[in-house]
Amino acid sequence: MGTEQKATNIVWHQATVSKSEREQINGHRGATLWLTGLSGSGKSTIANILEKMLWERGVRSYVLDGDNVRHGLNKDLGFSDQDRNENIRRIGEVAKLFTEAGVMTVTAFISPFRQDRDRVREIMNDGDFIEIYVKCDLDECEKRDPKGLYKKARSGEIKEFTGISSPYEEPERAEIVLENTAKTAEQSADEILAYLESNGYLA
Ligand SMILES: Nc1ncnc2c1ncn2[C@@H]1O[C@H](COP(=O)(O)OP(=O)(O)O)[C@@H](O)[C@H]1O
Ligand SMILES: [Mg+2]
């Protein structure tokens, strides 16, 4: 799966400025807010509203979004199970770097496989990985279909589409579950902000 160590004779170099020193200067913690859910569930919409809210409070933040990352870093990857594994592995590593840099990192990827998400959780320090399930009924996602992808998946034009022809594994221990079928994206973003506040991430 490309996760084994290939190079030998490489030694970890300890950073001079620590994460907690960066956090002190920033006035908030660095963490990864990992949004997972079906296509059209609202991940990108919520991520961007949330980032605006964070930005207005002076929080250093960054959004890593599925389609954008697939244009660059992961342009060599498709949607087979193996490529999805590698897609999430690389994003997890990037999110970890941002987190170590003290940034409030918001990721918006379907990330359908539990094992892939759990692996990202494992490489992060305790409390640095906040799994957020953007829960939305398939029917509702298909009705929204902002990019016309469900239509293409139903007609067979897109293969391996999550929820239609590729599985989505719901989180079992998400820190936050957003019931996003009935709520507005603003309400969902508010809920995340409230979690960050009451758990000391923004203090
Ligand atoms: N409660 C809601 N939360 C988020 N998006 C919503 C909501 N209601 C309607 N939408 C619409 O649904 C679509 C969600 O798309 P998007 O955020 O791109 O989802 P994802 O990134 O999960 O694929 C957008 O067009 C958005 O305007
Ligand atoms: Mg999106």
Catalytic residue among 111, 155, 165, 198: 111
CATH 3.50.50.60 corresponds to the domain 39-198: no
With CA atoms as reference, report the closest residue to 65 among 82, 87, 96.
87
Atom index in ligand 1 nearest the CA of residue 183 equals 1
Q: Is pLDDT at 43 greater than 70 in this prediction?
A: yes
* 111 in catalytic set: yes
**Mean pLDDT, residues 25-38 taken together:** 98
Question: Is the beta carbon of 39 within 6 A of some atom in ligand 1?
Answer: yes
Query: Residue 120 region, left (φ>0) first, then alpha (ψ -120 to 50), else beta?
Result: alpha
Find the ligand nearest to 133 CA.
1
**Mean pLDDT for the chain overall:** 95
**Residue 194: per-residue pLDDT:** 98
Q: What is the band of 131 on the pLDDT scale with cuts at 50, 70, 90?
A: very high
Q: What is the band of 118 on the pLDDT scale with cuts at 50, 70, 90?
A: very high
Q: Is pLDDT at 1 greater than 70 in this prediction?
A: no
Q: Which two three-digit tokens encode residue 1?
A: 């799966």
Could you give the CA distance from residue 175 to residue 131 in angstroms, rounded to a whole number? Answer: 5
> What does 95-137 look like in DSSP terms, one character per residue?
HHHHHHTT-EEEEE-----HHHHHHHHHHSPTTSEEEEEEE--
**Mean pLDDT, residues 123-150 taken together:** 97
Percent of the chain whose pLDDT exceeds 70 = 99
Find the ligand nearest to 48 CA.
1
CA of 65 to the centre of ligand 2 (A): 6
Least confident residue range of 61-70, 97-106, 124-133, 177-186: 61-70
Tell me the Cα Rg of the chain.
17
Question: Is the beta carbon of 163 within 6 A of some atom in ligand 1?
Answer: no
Q: What is the band of 130 on the pLDDT scale with cuts at 50, 70, 90?
A: very high
Could you give the CA distance from residue 140 to residue 60 in angstroms, rounded to a whole number? Answer: 33
Q: What is the band of 4 on the pLDDT scale with cuts at 50, 70, 90?
A: confident
User: Residue for token digits 């079928």?
Assistant: 181
Amino acid present at 85: N
* pLDDT single digits (tens) 152-190: 999 999 999 999 999 999 999 999 999 999 899 999 999
